[in-house]
Structure 1
C-alpha cells in the first residue's frame, strides 16, 4: 500500500475550482443555474482556489492513514513537513464551509433518483446516468459536481450512482451530507478500493493544511490547476443539443 501511494500521480481534470461569474449573454439560459450554485451549500467548496504545492499533496497521500474511534467515527491522519494533519467529517464541513448536517443522507435511492431525473428531463434509462443524455442546463450542473467535488477524474460520460444521487440532491435542493461524501472518498483512495487511485483532492488538502498550519513554510513547485469559467456553458451546449429544462 505504501509503495502504491508513493507512485500516485496528479489528475489534470479533477477537483477544479469554478469561477461563478454570469455566463456570456448568448448563453443566458444558464444564468439561473450559476445563481443557484452561488447560493448552494457547496458554493465555497467549488470556488475556493488556494495555491497548491505539489510536494505537500504528495507527502499527504504517502503518509495518509485511516483511524476510527470506539464509535466508528473516521479520522484521516497524515503528515506534511512533520506536522500532523487530521481530517474529520466536521473539519471538512467547517473548512470548506459546507452547509450540511451529520444526519443528512449520503445516498439517494434509485427510485428517488428516477423521479428526479424525470423532472430534470433526462432522456435515457437509469442506472447509470449518462451525462450527455441530460439536458444542457443540468448537464452543466453534473459537469461542475464531477469536476469540482467528485473524487473521480472528469471526462467520462457515465456518472456513478453515488455521484448521481449527490447531483440530484443539488438539482432539487434536498438534504445531502456532502461532507461525509468527501470523507468517504478519502477512505476509498487510501484503501485503494478502486484501481483509479491518484493524488486526489489537491485543492481541499491544501486548504486543510493552510487552516491547520497557517505558519507552515510553503515552497516547491505549485500545481497548475485549470478552472471552470463562464465559457464552460458553451462547451456543454456543443456537447449535445437538447432542450433546457428549468427547475
Structure 2
C-alpha cells in the first residue's frame, strides 16, 4: 500500500508521529505511487532471472522487448535511500531492549512481535511501515525481527539497509514464487524508471492508500 500521511482532524495525538514519518529516510519509499500496468508486471516476473555481473547480483528481465535491470544500488538510488552502510538486522538482545524502551508491553524471547502491545501512536507507525515496506506472509498484527530492526533504526536515527531487504525479497519471490504486495509496487517503479511511458497498456491495478481509519487503531 501507499502511506496516507495527512494529519487527522478528529484523532488527537498523531500529529507528531506523522511529522516524524514525513521527515524520515523512508518517506519517499512509503509514498511513491506508480501506475501499475498488470501486463508489465507479468512480463517482468515471467522473464526475470538472477545474474551476477562483475560480482554484483542483478535481477534482469525483459518488458516490451526492453531490458530492465534491478540491483541493490539501483533500489537505493531510485528510492532516495542513503542506507549502504546500514545494518541488515540488529542483534536479538538490542531488539528486545529497544522495543521495551519504546513501550512494547509483551516481554518475550520469540522473534515475532505484535503491534497490539504498543501505544496507539506506535501502532500507527508500525502499521504504516509493515503495510508499505514489509514482505508480509503472516498476519498483519505481527512483524519480524527484520521489521523490528527497521522500526528501531528509524526511531533511533540509525541506518537500516532497506535497499538490500527489498532486493532480497524480490529474489526470494523469484526463487520461490511467493507473492507479496511489496513486489508489485517496487517492480513497477523500476519498470517505469527504466522504460518510461507505458500508457499503451490499458489494464491497471489500482493501488490502495491507507485511509484515516488507520489512525483509530
Answer yes or no: same fold by TM over 0.5. Answer: yes
Match of 2:57 in 1: 74
Contact 2:134-2:182 within 8 A present in 1 as well:
no
Could you tell me the TM-score, scaled by structure 2's length?
0.91
3-state DSSP of counterpart to 1:33: helix
- 2:181 equivalent to 1:186: no
Quote the offset at 1:215 in angstroms: 3.8
Unaligned runs of 5+ residues in structure 1 are 1-15, 237-247
Aligned ranges 1:78-227 → 2 under 5 Å: 78-98=61-81, 100-126=82-108, 127-152=111-136, 155-192=139-176, 196-198=178-180, 200-227=182-209
Deviations 1:83-119 (A, max 9, x none): 1110111111111222x23221111111111111111
Distance in 2 separating the partners of 1:86 and 1:191 = 17
Contact 1:104-1:176 within 8 A present in 2 as well:
yes
Change (3 A) 1:125 1:226: same
RMSD: 1.9
Distance in 2 separating the partners of 1:76 and 1:47 = 24
Unaligned runs of 5+ residues in structure 2 are none
3-state DSSP of counterpart to 2:58: strand
- 1:64 maps to which of 44, 48, 54: 48
Quote the offset at 1:154 in angstroms: 7.6
Distance in 2 separating the partners of 1:208 and 1:218 = 18
Distance in 1 separating the partners of 2:172 and 2:88 = 15
Distance in 1 separating the partners of 2:53 and 2:34 = 31
Quote the offset at 1:142 in angstroms: 1.3
In the TM superposition, structure 1's runs of 4+ consecutive aligned residues that sit over 4 Å from their partners are none
Distance in 2 separating the partners of 1:176 and 1:37 = 15
Match of 1:241 in 2: none
Distance in 2 separating the partners of 1:200 and 1:118 = 28
Change (3 A) 1:198 1:48: closer
Change (3 A) 1:32 1:223: same
Quote the offset at 1:57 in angstroms: 1.1
